[in-house]
Amino acid sequence: MPFLDNIEKIRTVEWGHTYLWDARFLNPEPPKPFNDWFPAATMDEDIFSLDSYAFDARGGAFSFPLRRGSIKKIDMTFFDDVNNTLLNWFETWVNEIIFNRKGSLVSPLEECVRQITIVRLDHAKQPVGNPRNYWVYPEGKLTFRGDSSSSIRSFPISLVIVGTIGNSTIG
């Protein structure tokens, strides 16, 4: 007999949807109007990263867990308002806080990071489980791109997770 033997098994599950999530920055939060919510349109949050050690031995190939994999990241695309509130906030974060001495030196990690909180939601828009809190800093480039269309301004950005706040360990 198949395991999934009738449609009712599927119908009785409340499946998760990709739009049921939310995020905000804390410590410090961005300026208003994005101080208590963040206009992220897409979010890719690494949950775990694990490397394997693979080897060939007599009789076949084998693999076993070796160590934590690459550094976990949060990749997101966010929108910004006409006042460039978030563009300016990220610019200040990197150019004045991380590069605190006019670009010649980098601040200690403790001063470079900010907290991001990500929650998964149910269909009633209520949080499911505990929020996930990370210490992050932006990596790579943030680029303003102008063109000749009427599209909303969107910015892709990659955030490196350097720590997890709560019951998880350093990422």
Q: Applying CB under 8 A, which residues contact another protein?
A: 7, 11-12, 14, 123-125
Nearest approach, Cβ of 123 to another protein (angstroms)? 5
**Measured between alpha carbons, how far is 158 from 42 in angstroms, rounded to an integer?**
12
* Contact between residue 54 and residue 63 where contact means Cβ atoms under 8 Å apart: yes
Closer CB to another protein, residue 84 or residue 123? Answer: 123
Whether cis (ω within 30° of 0) applies to the bond prior to 108 is no
Instruction: Kindly state the smallest distance separating residue 41's Cβ from another protein, in Å.
Output: 15
Provide DSSP, 96-110.
Answer: IIISTTTTSS---HH
Question: What DSSP designation does 10 have?
Answer: H
Is 11 or 32 the residue whose CB approaches another protein more closely?
A: 11
Report which of 130, 39, 24, 49 is spatially closest to residue 78, judged by C-alpha positions: 39
Q: Residue 121 Cβ, how far from another protein at the closest point, in Å?
A: 9
DSSP conformation class of 94: I
> Closest distance between another protein and the C-beta of residue 126, in Å?
8
129: CB partners within 8 A, 6+ apart: 120
